């Protein structure tokens, strides 16, 4: 797994324009640092657009889903995941801890553990840690002195001391931090419980050297997302509201629920009461990616109240895509389309009713792999809750940086950056131009005049599917522009631009 770079530095000092030399950086100037890919989930790097539109790209679901099934007695009828698999370099293996809801003879307890060499084929090794129905031949992990604790999170922290290399959380009227040396037997930290509902996500933010925890509390329109931060995994900030459904979500949710109800290929909620339609945010993983933060909020589009004694709500759940530069202000993307939508019935997968993304994607080769929980329904009447679902752990794949592209069609179009200072020797792009092309030019800070020698007709013409290809201008070297204030203007025709970046 690889996370690159730091946030773009936006200087707040100096003024001026044109080809400014090294010195104070004009207000609002981008600093394009080597190794940080610039994506288009928001408008942060964008100056002008012409005949170009932003397009969201959904990951492709793996044909063999689910990749991990509830196939041992202690799993019960369904399993779920909240934390993405982690790569253990020493053992050369992927490790996964998952939520299990089966009877282990002691009530609800430890999470299940699985491992894989390739991320596709998973085994559940016998750990011998927890006794279940008189035997230790199972894959359960546990919390010391509290075997019935519900372990909600487990992840590998490669920067920690050996005794705390694995970290986790249990639900205990909130969230209680855990640590472990081996990932199988955990110890509670003697720290206060973090206030939370029954959903949360935790990630490590390498750039800011902090843990990011999102928890669920009430807010506008119901379930909402709150943020808590920590530098040491022991002292956590008071959770603050950062994301919730709004009035437009209610309009889109009602439209979506009506479409589901009218589609015979979709699982349709058992309870369908239009007067009770409501959209809430069930949970939201947040992770750092190439200079920004990406969130995958689970939109719970509720179709009505489930009768007592069961209670709660029926409906459909799946994640959408949002981004932020500061963890507080979030940008909804591409008309709020579903990022990983539920599957149609009969596909063989179990993600027809509910989808909940894990903590972050993992990079394998040139792809981002998204592991997620997939459940067949939200509510099945006349059966106990534990028997009401079938579910497993699923996988969907996306090209590297492939969340969003800027697209131009037959007529062609262009996008340029805001005024920027370049610190690099090579300019690369991630683009698909099957039957089309991409070129670029470099202008002055105002975008009025193309710099001599940097015209688009002198630029390398990029065609085909290119995850990383360099743009060059004969007789020119990018290092000539170091410290100058310029714009990079990309010209596209029948092409999608996913990202660009500088290399030293």
In terms of domains, do 294 and 384 share one? yes
| Residue 319's pLDDT band (cuts 50, 70, 90) | very high
DSSP state of 260: H
Asked whether residue 18 carries a pLDDT value surpassing 50, the answer given is: no
In terms of domains, do 15 and 86 share one? no
| Angstrom distance (rounded) from CA 260 to CA 333 | 22
Tell me how far apart the terminal alpha carbons of the chain are, to the nearest angstrom.
22
Determine the 3-state secondary structure of 335 from DSSP: helix
| Residue 283's pLDDT band (cuts 50, 70, 90) | very high
In terms of domains, do 352 and 480 share one? no
Asked whether residue 302 carries a pLDDT value surpassing 80, the answer given is: yes
Q: What is the pLDDT of residues 188-210, one digit of tens each?
A: 999 999 999 999 999 999 999 99
Asked whether residue 66 carries a pLDDT value surpassing 70, the answer given is: yes
Looking at residue 149, what is its pLDDT? Answer: 85
Q: What is the pLDDT of residues 336-389, one digit of tens each?
A: 999 999 999 988 889 999 999 999 999 999 999 999 999 999 998 877 766 678
Q: What is the pLDDT of residues 23-38, one digit of tens each?
A: 455 556 788 889 999 9
CATH number at residue 392: 2.115.10.20
Q: Where do the DSSP E strands lie in 231-297?
A: 240-243, 278-281, 286-289, 292-295
Q: What is the pLDDT of residues 157-189, one digit of tens each?
A: 988 999 999 999 998 789 999 999 999 999 999
Q: What is the pLDDT of residues 236-268, one digit of tens each?
A: 999 999 999 999 999 999 999 999 999 999 999
Looking at residue 465, what is its pLDDT? Answer: 98
In terms of domains, do 472 and 345 share one? no
Looking at residue 77, what is its pLDDT? Answer: 86
In terms of domains, do 155 and 95 share one? yes
Asked whether residue 292 carries a pLDDT value surpassing 80, the answer given is: yes
CATH number at residue 423: 2.60.120.260
Q: Which two tokens stand for residue 46?
A: 């964008």
The larger pLDDT score, comparing residue 384 to residue 65, is at 65
Q: What is the pLDDT of residues 447-495, one digit of tens each?
A: 999 999 999 999 999 999 999 999 999 999 999 999 899 999 999 999 9
In terms of domains, do 379 and 474 share one? no
Residue 416 falls within a domain, yes or no? Answer: yes
| Angstrom distance (rounded) from CA 202 to CA 225 | 13
Instruction: State the total domains in the chain.
Output: 2
Radius of gyration of the chain (CA): 24
Nearest one of 311, 378, 308 to 350, comparing CA atoms: 378
User: What single string gives the DSSP state of each residue in 77-109?
Assistant: TBEE-SS--EEETTTTEEEEEEEE-S--SSSS-
In terms of domains, do 216 and 74 share one? yes
Looking at residue 19, what is its pLDDT? Answer: 37
In terms of domains, do 419 and 394 share one? no
Residue 474 falls within a domain, yes or no? Answer: yes
CA 271 from chain centre, in angstroms, equals: 30
DSSP state of 71: -
Final residue in a domain of this structure, among 365, 399, 433: 399
| Angstrom distance (rounded) from CA 500 to CA 415 | 12
Looking at residue 67, what is its pLDDT? Answer: 97
| Angstrom distance (rounded) from CA 316 to CA 352 | 9
Residue 410 falls within a domain, yes or no? Answer: yes
Is there a contact between 296 and 321 (Cβ–Cβ < 8 Å)? yes
Residue 4 falls within a domain, yes or no? Answer: no
Cis peptide before 252 (omega within 30 of 0): no
| Angstrom distance (rounded) from CA 491 to CA 438 | 6
Asked whether residue 21 carries a pLDDT value surpassing 70, the answer given is: no
Final residue in a domain of this structure, among 354, 372, 399: 399
Q: Where are the alpha helices (DSSP H) in 91-172?
A: none
Residue 1 falls within a domain, yes or no? Answer: no
In terms of domains, do 310 and 200 share one? yes
Average pLDDT for the chain: 91
Residue 37 falls within a domain, yes or no? Answer: yes
Contacts of 94 (CB under 8 A, 6+ apart): 85, 86, 87, 88, 115, 116, 117, 118, 119
| Residue 4's pLDDT band (cuts 50, 70, 90) | very low
DSSP state of 326: S
| Angstrom distance (rounded) from CA 116 to CA 105 | 27
Question: What's the domain range around 71?
Answer: 60-399
Alpha-carbon distances, residue 402 vs 37, 44, 56, 430 (angstroms): 12, 17, 8, 9
Maximum distance among all Cα pairs of the chain, rounded to whole angstroms? 80
In terms of domains, do 289 and 420 share one? no
Final residue in a domain of this structure, among 357, 373, 399: 399
Is there a contact between 140 and 130 (Cβ–Cβ < 8 Å)? yes
In terms of domains, do 115 and 46 share one? no
pTM of the model: 0.93
In terms of domains, do 215 and 85 share one? yes
Looking at residue 420, what is its pLDDT? Answer: 94
Residue 2 falls within a domain, yes or no? Answer: no
Q: For 336, what's the count of Cα atoms within 13 Å in the CB-facing half-sphere?
A: 16
Looking at residue 16, what is its pLDDT? Answer: 30
Q: What percent of the chain has pLDDT over 70?
A: 92
Asked which of 62-76, 98-112, 417-431 is least confident by mean pLDDT, the reply is 98-112
Residue 3 falls within a domain, yes or no? Answer: no
Query: To 5 degrees, how large is the angle CA 287–CA 288–CA 289?
Result: 115
Asked whether residue 333 carries a pLDDT value surpassing 80, the answer given is: yes
Looking at residue 368, what is its pLDDT? Answer: 98
């Amino acid at each position: 797994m690889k996370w690159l770079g730091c946030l773009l530095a936006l200087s707040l000092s100096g003024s001026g324009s044109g080809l400014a030399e090294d010195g104070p950086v004009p207000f609002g100037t981008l600093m394009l640092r080597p190794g940080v890919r610039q994506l288009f989930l928001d408008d942060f790097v964008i100056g002008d657009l012409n005949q170009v539109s932003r397009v969201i790209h959904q990951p492709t679901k793996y044909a063999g889903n689910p990749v991990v099934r509830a196939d041992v007695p202690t799993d019960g009828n369904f399993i779920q995941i909240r934390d993405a698999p982690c790569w253990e370099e020493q053992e050369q293996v992927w490790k996964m801890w998952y939520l299990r809801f089966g009877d282990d003879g002691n009530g609800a307890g430890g999470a299940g553990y699985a491992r894989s060499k390739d991320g596709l084929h998973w085994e559940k090794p016998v750990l011998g840690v927890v006794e279940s129905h008189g035997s230790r031949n199972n894959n359960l992990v546990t919390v010391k002195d509290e075997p019935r604790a519900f372990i909600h999170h487990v992840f590998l922290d490669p920067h920690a001391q050996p005794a705390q290399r694995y970290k986790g959380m249990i639900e205990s009227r909130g969230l209680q931090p855990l640590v472990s040396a081996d990932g199988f037997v955990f110890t509670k930290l003697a720290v206060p419980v973090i206030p939370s509902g029954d959903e949360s996500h935790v990630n490590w933010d390498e750039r800011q050297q902090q843990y990011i925890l999102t928890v669920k509390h009430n807010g506008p329109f119901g379930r909402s997302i709150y943020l808590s931060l920590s530098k040491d995994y022991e002292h956590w900030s008071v959770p603050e509201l950062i994301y919730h459904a709004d009035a437009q979500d209610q309009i889109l949710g009602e439209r979506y629920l009506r479409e589901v109800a009218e589609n015979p290929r979709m699982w349709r909620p058992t309870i369908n009461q239009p007067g009770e339609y409501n959209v809430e945010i069930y949970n939201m993983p947040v992770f750092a990616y190439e200079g920004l933060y990406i969130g995958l909020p689970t939109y719970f589009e509720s179709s009505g109240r489930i009768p007592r004694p069961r209670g709660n709500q029926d409906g459909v759940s799946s994640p959408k895509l949002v981004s932020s530069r500061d963890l507080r202000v979030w940008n909804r993307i591409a008309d709020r389309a579903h990022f990983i939508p539920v599957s149609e019935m009969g596909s063989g997968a179990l993600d027809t009713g509910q989808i909940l993304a894990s903590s972050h994607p993992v990079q394998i080769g040139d792809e981002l792999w998204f592991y997620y929980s997939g459940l067949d329904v939200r509510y099945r009447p006349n059966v106990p809750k534990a028997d009401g679902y079938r579910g497993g752990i699923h996988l969907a794949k996306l090209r590297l940086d492939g969340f969003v592209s800027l697209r131009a069609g037959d007529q062609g179009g262009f996008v340029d950056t805001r005024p920027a200072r370049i610190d690099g020797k090579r300019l690369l792009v991630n683009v698909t131009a099957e039957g089309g092309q991409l070129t670029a030019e470099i202008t002055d800070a105002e975008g009025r005049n193309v710099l001599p020698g940097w015209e688009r007709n002198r630029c390398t013409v990029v065609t085909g599917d290119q995850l990383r290809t360099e743009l060059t201008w004969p007789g020119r070297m990018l290092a000539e522009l170091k410290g100058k204030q310029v714009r990079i203007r990309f010209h596209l025709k029948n092409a999608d631009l996913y990202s660009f970046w500088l290399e030293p």
